[in-house]
Amino acid sequence: MTRFIFITGGVVSSLGKGLSSAALGALLQARGFKVRLRKLDPYLNVDPGTMSPYQHGEVYVTDDGAETDLDLGHYERYVGVAARRSDSVTTGRIYSTVIGRERRGEYLGATVQVIPHVTDAIKEFIQADLADEDFVLCEIGGTVGDIESLPFLEAIRQLGNELGRERVLFVHLTLVPWIASAGELKTKPTQHSAKELLGLGIQPDILLCRCERPIPPSARKKIALFCNLRESRVIPALDVDTIYAVPGAYHAEGFDREVCTHFGIAAPEPDLERWNEIVSRISKPEGRVTIAIVGKYTHLPDSYKSLAEAMTHGGIANNVGVDVDWIDSEVFEAEAEVLRQLDGVHGIIVPGGFGERGSEGKIAAARFARERRLPYFGICFGMQMAVIEAARHLAGLRGAGSTEFGPCDHPVVGLMTEWVRGNTLERRESEGDLGGTMRLGAYEAVLAPDSRVGEIYATTRISERHRHRYEVNIGYKQTLEATGMRFSGMSPDGMLPEIVELPDHPWFIGVQFHPELKSKPFDPHPLFASFVRAAVDQSRLV
């Protein structure tokens, strides 16, 4: 029997609902249950693929090629279950489904309305594509009180009735602010938020209260009283040093125990050994390395969420802490600036990116890493920039560039309009809609067995996630290989370069995919583990 846990948020946004959901999922999993996590987002975009990273942070890509909210990345990292397209639902997607049905006459002449047609569609999505999960945790994006999230809240209220309280639980995440001038914690915003939810017909079963200092028993009692809950159902969620300490902290406050009590299930205590282990590795590193990430959205760390996490995982694998220097590629297009900002770092990453702005700075970073023999990891756009750099400075193709930036003499990176996935030919229309037109999701690659990446992955066949329109132009393979750059990973049909490396360099690898999307704290991605290892070696040299 699948049970549903709905997580809503109140008072303010950015309280970390995604992490809270992921942490509860991890606790239930550690008790031996099979879990799945889903996100319902109230915006009208069909998916976040067309949203600017400035607005919405990273776009997380699933194996099945869905462009989703970054919270799905937290879910995967915490519970290790590969997220699917069906785990991400937006208002835009719901409405396009409903309108599609209406156009096909499927409503048989009925007046199509938010209740019941939109809410029915939401309920369908919530319950779709499930097998034998014990728990499905659904996070509702936005904050209670927003007009946009009303249909979602109405749909989960209905589900609470239809499935019964023995199969549905409502968790509400709120804020208990500390008012410095009064020297007090304030419970009123939480009371109001719970009241707002109750006004929509939802009595929260558990309140998760974010707070920067311990909530005294009197405040907890007050919240319980005013919000119509037992005290044990008011769970303090205090700030912790690392996000991977959240499951342990929630467990200590009885969160998972209260969930089990609500459903009347007697489950064994969770085994949190592996969580404790990674928390202790993160909090007691044996050394530190500094990695420069040279990108365009560096002042907004959410834009590179999975990358930042993958760096932490690489650190865990090597027992070191990784300090990241976020460097805006635009500000250091002048040579002197490159030297000043990159001096002393132990490795350089040029991450994924789009558009010409800042690209010369990224090319300069790749050159600096190549010439100084500093570990370089080029991810997607970062691989493309490294290839342009090699073409210009090693192969002497001065006009080398990417057609993403307009026509150029040597398009070493260009638009591919057709490619093969398994046995099928896929096409990209250059004039088509922008949404979902990239090479998206999991693709296999074949690695040269005697290459650096072959050694790192310890296999010759890999599957990694993609999200890009442009590809390294195979027409320049020979010219580039003649300079010493090796094409060590290719698509199975041999048409698309997936990995390039410089065998004569301590660690210089560019990958066309996004390995950061698959890295987990318990299972650091081999490329990140190896890259951080190389940075550690570098730190011993200087």
Of the pair 374, 380, the CB lying nearest ligand GLN is at 380
Q: What does the per-residue mask of binding to ligand GLN show for 371-410, with x meaning CB under 6 A?
A: ---------xx----------------------x------
Measured from the CB atom, the residue of 381 and 476 that comes closer to ligand GLN is 381
Closer CB to ligand GLN, 250 or 470, in the complex: 470
Task: Tell me the window of 168-176, 211-219, 466-474, 523-531 that interacts with ligand GLN (CB under 6 A).
Answer: 466-474
From 172, 313, 468, 514, the catalytic residue: 514
β-pairing verdict for 410-415 and 67-68: unpaired
467 near ligand GLN (CB under 6 A):
yes
The DSSP code for 523 is B
Contact pattern from residue 6 through residue 45 relative to ligand GLN, giving x for each residue in contact according to CB under 6 A and a dash for the rest: ----------------------------------------
Q: Say how many residues touch ligand GLN, by CB under 6 A.
A: 10
**Interaction between residue 468 and ligand GLN (CB under 6 A):** yes
CA angle 142, 262, 135 (to 5 degrees): 60
Among 78, 275, 470, 508, binds ligand GLN (CB under 6 A): 470
Catalytic residue among 58, 309, 464, 516: 516
Question: With b meaning 16 or more CB within 10 Å and e meaning fewer, what string describes 32-51?
Answer: ebebbbbbbbbbebbbbbee
Query: Which long-range CB contacts under 8 A does 388-395 form with residues at least 24 apart?
Result: 388/363, 388/412, 388/413, 389/363, 390/480, 390/483, 390/485, 390/500, 391/476, 391/479, 391/480, 392/363, 393/367, 394/480, 394/483, 394/484, 394/485, 395/476, 395/479, 395/480, 395/482, 395/483
Closest approach of Cβ 386 to ligand GLN, in Å? Answer: 12
Q: Which is nearer to ligand GLN, 360 or 537 (CB)?
A: 360
Segment contacting ligand GLN by CB under 6 A, of 82-90, 277-285, 443-451, 462-470: 462-470
Choosing from 209, 211, 227, 380, the catalytic residue is 380
CA dihedral 448, 452, 453, 456 (to 10 degrees): 130
Kindly identify the residues of this chain, within the stretch 226-285, that bind ligand GLN according to CB under 6 A.
none
Tell which residue, 272, 165, 237, 193, has the closest CA to residue 21. Answer: 237
Q: Give the 3-state secondary structure of residue 515.
A: helix
CB of 511 to ligand GLN, least distance (A): 10
Binding segment for ligand GLN (CB under 6 A), chosen from 337-345, 357-365, 391-399, 463-471, is: 463-471
Residues 280-299 that bind ligand GLN (CB under 6 A): none
C-beta of 165 vs 357, nearer to ligand GLN: 357
Site for ligand GLN in 339-368 (CB under 6 A): 352-354
In three-state secondary structure terms, 510 is: strand
Whose Cβ is closer to ligand GLN: residue 392's or residue 468's?
468
Instruction: Return the structure tokens found at 278.
Output: 């990674």
Can you name the residues that pair with 426 across neighbouring β-strands? 419
Shortest Å, Cβ 456 to ligand GLN:
21
**Contact between 513 and ligand GLN per CB under 6 A:** no
Q: Which is nearer to ligand GLN, 109 or 406 (CB)?
A: 406
Q: Enumerate residues 65-84 that contact ligand GLN by CB under 6 A.
A: none
The CB-of-338 to ligand GLN minimum distance in angstroms stands at 21
| Min CB(346)–ligand GLN separation in Å | 23
Which stretch, 121-129, 255-263, 468-476, 520-528, contacts ligand GLN (CB under 6 A)? 468-476
469 interacts with ligand GLN by CB under 6 A: yes
3-state secondary structure 61-126: ECCCCCEECCHHHHHHHHHCCCCCHHHEEEHHHHHHHHHHHHHCCCCCCCCCCHHHHHHHHHHHHH
Stretch binding ligand GLN (CB under 6 A), from 14-22, 297-305, 358-366, 464-472 = 464-472
Q: Which is nearer to ligand GLN, 90 or 359 (CB)?
A: 359
All residues at 6 or more sequence positions from 499 whose CB lies less than 8 Å from its CB, including other chains: 383, 445, 447, 451, 453, 487, 488, 489, 490, 509, 510, 511, 512
- Based on the shown chain and the rule CB under 6 A, indicate whether residue 171 belongs to the binding site for ligand GLN: no
Whose structure tokens read 């150029």? 408
> Which H, E and C letters describe 163-225, residue by residue?
HCCCCEEEEEEEECCEECCCCEECCHHHHHHHHHHHHCCCCCCEEEEEECCCCCHHHHHHHHH
| Footprint on residues 305-324 left by ligand GLN (CB under 6 A) | none
State which H helix or E strand residue 290 sits in: strand 287-295
The Cβ of residue 133 has, within 10 Å, a number of other Cβ atoms equal to 17
Catalytic residue list contains 516: yes
Residues 66/113, Cβ–Cβ less than 8 Å: no
CA distances from 516 to 100, 193, 222, 465, 512 (A): 36, 36, 44, 9, 12
Q: Is the CB of 205 or the CB of 404 nearer to ligand GLN?
A: 404
Shortest distance, position 93 Cβ to ligand GLN, whole Å: 22
- Please check whether residue 116 is in contact with residue 162, taking contact to mean a CB–CB distance below 8 angstroms: no
* Residue 402 or 451 with smaller CB distance to ligand GLN: 402
Which residues bind to ligand GLN, rule: CB under 6 A? 352-354, 380-381, 404, 467-470
Active site members:
380, 514, 516
